[in-house]
Amino acid sequence: MPINQRQVNIDLKEMPTQWYNILPDLPEPLPPPKDPESGESRLKNLPKILLGECLKQEFSQERWIDIPEELQHIYHQAGRPRSLFRAVNLEKRLDTPARLYYKAEFYSPTGSHKVNTALAQAFYAKKEGYERLTTETGAGQWGTALAYGAALAGLKCTVFWVRAVYSWKKDRRNLMELFGADVYASPSDQTEFGKTLYGKDANHPGSLGIAISEGMEDAIKDPKAIYCLGSVLNHVLMHQTIIGLETKKQFVKFEDYPDMVISCLGGGSNFGGFALPFVHDVLKEGKKIKFIAAQSKASPNLQGEYRYDFADYAEMTPMLKMYTLGHKIDMVPIKGDGLRYHGCSPILSLLRDKGIIDTIAYPEDEKHVFERATQFIRAEGFLPAPESAYSVACAIDEALKCKESGEKKVIAFNVSGHGFLDIPGFREVLNLK
Amino acid sequence: MPINQRQVNIDLKEMPTQWYNILPDLPEPLPPPKDPESGESRLKNLPKILLGECLKQEFSQERWIDIPEELQHIYHQAGRPRSLFRAVNLEKRLDTPARLYYKAEFYSPTGSHKVNTALAQAFYAKKEGYERLTTETGAGQWGTALAYGAALAGLKCTVFWVRAVYSWKKDRRNLMELFGADVYASPSDQTEFGKTLYGKDANHPGSLGIAISEGMEDAIKDPKAIYCLGSVLNHVLMHQTIIGLETKKQFVKFEDYPDMVISCLGGGSNFGGFALPFVHDVLKEGKKIKFIAAQSKASPNLQGEYRYDFADYAEMTPMLKMYTLGHKIDMVPIKGDGLRYHGCSPILSLLRDKGIIDTIAYPEDEKHVFERATQFIRAEGFLPAPESAYSVACAIDEALKCKESGEKKVIAFNVSGHGFLDIPGFREVLNLK
């Protein structure tokens, strides 16, 4: 491969046809979800809030799960496979001996990696006879992705969006509507639970926990509807492994292989999707890779406790064994809002507990992160989402350490989304005009 | 190729290494630029406002012009080659026997095809020893693309932006600043010409003509600076032929070939870049293709007169033989602002005069165009720029004619940009919440 090669892609025929399920390869069995010691069973609700196929995948011990052929075509329609870039220009400007590679998940129809599982869930929902998808969204990336997945599949979609975010992200809301979704500020007057809060305060700012409750209630009451989740769970991370599986094939074309694998981490879906196929190589093939999850000090969940906790504020979900800050914790608002979640996915939590994943948390003012993102923008030309800016910052910081030490490390990082709909965040943090 | 195939791309090694220069293949010699009958010579300024290499290319009679190897790598860095998609989902929903293909120029770092010439001009400017690029911008796509090109090349960039647009497109302005550009509302206090207007009225709304004058003056006064143009001229269209050249190779992989080639047209750079390699096949290989330029009734320049006219309001440029509405005409504002230009590029004007290019102009309220774009978004998932929505609308209209007639036409259209920074336009036209 020429030294100046800046991009590779694989042919459509080379695109992975199976997802990677890490469950059978984990160092020890994954602690299962469980019910709290008192109160109603949450586990019994699982079949009502998870697609049949996804529920099967959630606990499967098969290492490789087929991507249905029709879904492979839908991935093509969404622009997969996505290129792997070598950051030649950035390396030069940093004057680092490290080699930097970034995966272009930002080349997504809705702007983020979330489409990889949204398309899969919409596909299974259609196959299982559902007519409508319901969900919640915080930052908005997941709601947009599911609205898109539903549109392509010809399904209806209802999104409950935390009012505090809904109110100011007008462009993103309109994008969901362009995809045909019904979008409600949460708490709303569309559900019984929502009404109990909305009735008292029509300007209630809402929370992810409340929005989850509304999405679940809406689906449970309508036999033609199914609730969909965008992160944390095993099957979601598995759908996302298409990212890392492509990346591994692209590294072969670059005739290179990473020493470090970096991405940002909120609930864990982009990090898991990018990293797990490489974790496989560490666990099963004796490779040595340093994995770093780039987080915010607003929600450094991997620096919390490893214990059973609820996935939502309202305690409607089963309890999951995970690194958590506590499901009732208050977190400072940040521009990288998609990273602001109290717990980390059970799979990644177990890997963290085994010492396989490292973590770094950046200050809540986000200045360092956005300045690093600006260096990336000027050298490589792509505008990362605020969340992805954490991934970029961590990669640049590691490249500069290599400059100090003289080490020629190979650093791979995922740019999980673009920032075209998040420019006001850059403006505020960087004091642009 | 499987019937369900929705995307093809070419390998990086197959990417065109030469641009196509149509000048030697035109049915008759292109009328050269000329001076007006009275007043100062404008032609003598050309070497001061055009890069040496671009000036050479502007009048070259070589059919194929090499893309410098380093620039090929920069095209890779910008994500080229870009995929060609078959609109399988859209065809089904329209229930048309036509086969629809669209080129994904929207997968661009700054959001449009403009980067293809911005990167070339920045590359030549660096090679010719310049340190700063100056330009004007109207809708903002060209200013963003040049800011990006300059950033990658390590050059400074100054953009004079029509104040009426500058004032409300804050996100796009910040994007240019993230690339490191200096952006001024025009008329500004940065140039002598600007001051004559700005001094009288600091809120002067400006015009493209005024901004061009400022950009030119700024470059002429600074020997380290050069002015750059983003459309209309021969060399700009030639840089854009990378679009159509890739598309032709991708059609070979689809084992298909277009009966119709459609794109939107303002000054002509995306239309020319997409269509000219196919015009070659019509002129030199006897292929039969219908070319349609999708325009707005706000500026249907191809329905104007074919005569010599100035390219700018202020009459600073040489006169060009082109289809024009008159360089002093007032045009109604539309959301597809990039289509609002009084004249069409000389090359495309000649082809129009010879009956090779057809044109259609859509009503100024843009309802039909944005509704067609919504059909495209829901079926294919990609959000087109308002300008590109004209291309989409024309393609869908032609596909529906095929449904009437039963003809299995192959329709190729270019989606020249994405609309992530233009959602307020969709909101207004479609009355979204």
Question: Tens digit of pLDDT for each residue in B26-67?
Answer: 999 999 999 999 999 999 988 888 999 999 999 999 999 999
Two structure tokens written together for A337 = 């809002």
Q: Is A11 an 8 Å CB contact of chain B?
A: yes
Interface contact flag, B104 A73, Cβ < 8 Å: no
Cα atoms found within 13 Å of the Cα of residue A218, Cβ hemisphere only: 31
Percent of chain A past pLDDT 90, that is, above it, reads: 91
Work out how many CB contacts closer than 8 A connect A with B.
145
pLDDT at A312: 85
What's the full length of chain A, in residues? 433
**What is the Cα A165 distance to its own chain's centre?**
18
Interface contact flag, A5 B79, Cβ < 8 Å: no
Interface contact flag, B378 A179, Cβ < 8 Å: yes
Interface contact flag, B73 A170, Cβ < 8 Å: no
Please tell me the distance in Å from A344's CA to the nearest CA on chain B. Answer: 30
Interface contact flag, B178 A426, Cβ < 8 Å: yes
Q: In chain B, which residues have their Cβ closer than 8 Å to the Cβ of A418?
A: 420
Distances (CA, A) of B295 to B165, B262, B349, B421: 21, 11, 14, 21
Q: DSSP letter string over A273-335?
A: HHHHHHHHHHHHH----EEEEEEETT--GGGSEEEEEESSTT--SPEEEEEES-TT------S
| Nearest by CB: B79 against A83, A178, A180 | A83
Please tell me the distance in Å from B148's CA to the nearest CA on chain A. Answer: 6
Q: In chain A, which residues have their Cβ closer than 8 Å to the Cβ of B180?
A: 378
CA distance B366 to B333: 11
pLDDT at A252: 97
Interface contact flag, B178 A151, Cβ < 8 Å: no
CB B198 within 8 Å of CB B302: no
Greatest alpha-carbon pair distance for chain B in Å reads 65
Interface contact flag, A171 B423, Cβ < 8 Å: yes
pLDDT at B282: 98
Search chain A and give the residue with CA nearest B374: A178
Q: Is B104 an 8 Å CB contact of chain A?
A: yes
Question: Residue B304, Cβ neighbours under 10 Å: how many?
Answer: 19
Q: Which residues pair with A215 in a beta bridge?
A: none
Please tell me the distance in Å from A266's CA to the nearest CA on chain B. Answer: 24
Q: Is B92 an 8 Å CB contact of chain A?
A: no
pLDDT at A3: 57
Side by side, the strands of the sheet bearing A132-137 are A182-186, A156-162, A132-137, A225-227
Distances (CA, A) of B114 to B42, B136, B232: 26, 13, 12
Q: What is the mean pLDDT of residues B345-362?
A: 98
> Exposure pattern of A370-405 as b/e (b: 16+ CB <10 Å)?
bebbbebbbbbbbbbbbbbbbbbbbbbbbbeebeee
| Nearest by CB: A12 against B7, B374, B420 | B7
CA distance B43 to A91: 43
Q: Is A426 an 8 Å CB contact of chain B?
A: yes
Residues 6+ apart with CB under 8 A from A38: none
pLDDT band of B330, cuts 50, 70, 90: confident
> Which CATH fold topology does B7-16+69-111+235-430 show?
Rossmann fold (3.40.50)
CA distance B109 to A202: 40
For the entire predicted model, the pTM comes to: 0.97
pLDDT at B2 over 80: no
CA distance B31 to A363: 62
Interface contact flag, B423 A7, Cβ < 8 Å: no
pLDDT in tens, B258-315: 999 999 999 999 999 999 999 999 999 999 999 999 999 999 999 999 999 999 887 8
pLDDT in tens, A156-171: 999 999 998 898 899 9
Which of A1, A5, A9 is most worth mutating to test chain B (most B CB atoms within 10 A of its CB)? A9
Q: In chain B, which residues have their Cβ closer than 8 Å to the Cβ of A83?
A: 79
Q: Is A156 an 8 Å CB contact of chain B?
A: no
Q: What is the mean pLDDT of residues A230-253?
A: 97
Please tell me the distance in Å from B127's CA to the nearest CA on chain A. Answer: 17
Interface contact flag, B152 A379, Cβ < 8 Å: yes
pLDDT at A208: 82
pLDDT at B48: 81
In the chain, the amino acid numbered B409 is K
pLDDT at B30: 98
Interface contact flag, B79 A107, Cβ < 8 Å: yes
pLDDT band of B316, cuts 50, 70, 90: confident
Interface contact flag, A174 B426, Cβ < 8 Å: yes
Two structure tokens written together for B21 = 């220069």
pLDDT at B45: 83
pLDDT in tens, B155-178: 999 999 999 889 889 999 999 999
pLDDT in tens, A356-373: 999 999 999 999 999 999
pLDDT at B207: 86
CA distance A261 to A275: 7
Search chain B and give the residue with CA nearest A70: B4
CA angle B98, B99, B101 (to 5 degrees): 135
Interface contact flag, A381 B76, Cβ < 8 Å: no
Q: Is A168 an 8 Å CB contact of chain B?
A: no
pLDDT at B228: 96
pLDDT at A418 over 70: yes
Interface contact flag, A73 B180, Cβ < 8 Å: no
Search chain A and give the residue with CA nearest B427: A174
Average pLDDT, chain A: 96
- Closest to B89 in 3D by CA, of A149, A312, A336, A163: A149
Identify the weakest region by mean pLDDT among A169-178, A328-337, A338-347, B171-180. Answer: A328-337
Q: Is B421 an 8 Å CB contact of chain A?
A: yes
pLDDT at B3 over 60: no
Which of A5, A6, A108 is most worth mutating to test chain B (most B CB atoms within 10 A of its CB)? A6
pLDDT band of A239, cuts 50, 70, 90: very high
Q: Is A382 an 8 Å CB contact of chain B?
A: yes
pLDDT at A2: 55
A residues 61..90 contacting B (CB < 8 A): 70, 73-74, 76-79, 83, 85, 88-89
Which of B10, B72, B423 is most worth mutating to test chain A (most A CB atoms within 10 A of its CB)? B423
Percent of chain B past pLDDT 90, that is, above it, reads: 91
* Fold match between domain A7-16+69-111+235-430 and domain A115-229: yes
| Nearest by CB: B381 against A6, A7, A78 | A78
pLDDT at B383: 98
Q: DSSP letter string over A103-170?
A: EETT-STTSBTTHHHHHHHHHHHHHTT--EEEEEESSSHHHHHHHHHHHHHT-EEEEEEEHHHHTT-H
Please tell me the distance in Å from B31's CA to the nearest CA on chain A. Answer: 38
Search chain A and give the residue with CA nearest B1: A13
ipTM here: 0.97
CB A296 within 8 Å of CB A326: no
Q: Is B254 an 8 Å CB contact of chain A?
A: no
Average pLDDT, chain B: 96
Q: What is the mean pLDDT of residues B203-216?
A: 89
DSSP 8-state class, residue B98: S
Q: DSSP letter string over B141-199?
A: HHHHHHHHHHHHHT-EEEEEEEHHHHTT-HHHHHHHHHTT-EEEEES-SSSHHHHHHHT
Q: In chain A, which residues have their Cβ closer than 8 Å to the Cβ of B74?
A: 6
pLDDT band of A339, cuts 50, 70, 90: very high
Q: Is A17 an 8 Å CB contact of chain B?
A: no
Q: In chain B, which residues have their Cβ closer than 8 Å to the Cβ of A89?
A: 77, 152
Q: Which residues pair with B20 in a beta bridge?
A: B64
pLDDT in tens, A85-127: 999 999 999 999 999 999 999 999 999 999 999 999 999 999 9
Q: Is B9 an 8 Å CB contact of chain A?
A: yes
Q: Is A180 an 8 Å CB contact of chain B?
A: yes
Please tell me the distance in Å from B183's CA to the nearest CA on chain A. Answer: 10
CA distance A422 to A337: 11
Identify the weakest region by mean pLDDT among A321-330, B3-12, B120-129, B397-406. Answer: B3-12
Domain-by-domain residue ranges, chain A?
7-16+69-111+235-430, 115-229
Interface contact flag, A432 B380, Cβ < 8 Å: no
The CATH code for residues A115-229 is 3.40.50.1100
Q: In chain B, which residues have their Cβ closer than 8 Å to the Cβ of A175?
A: 383, 423
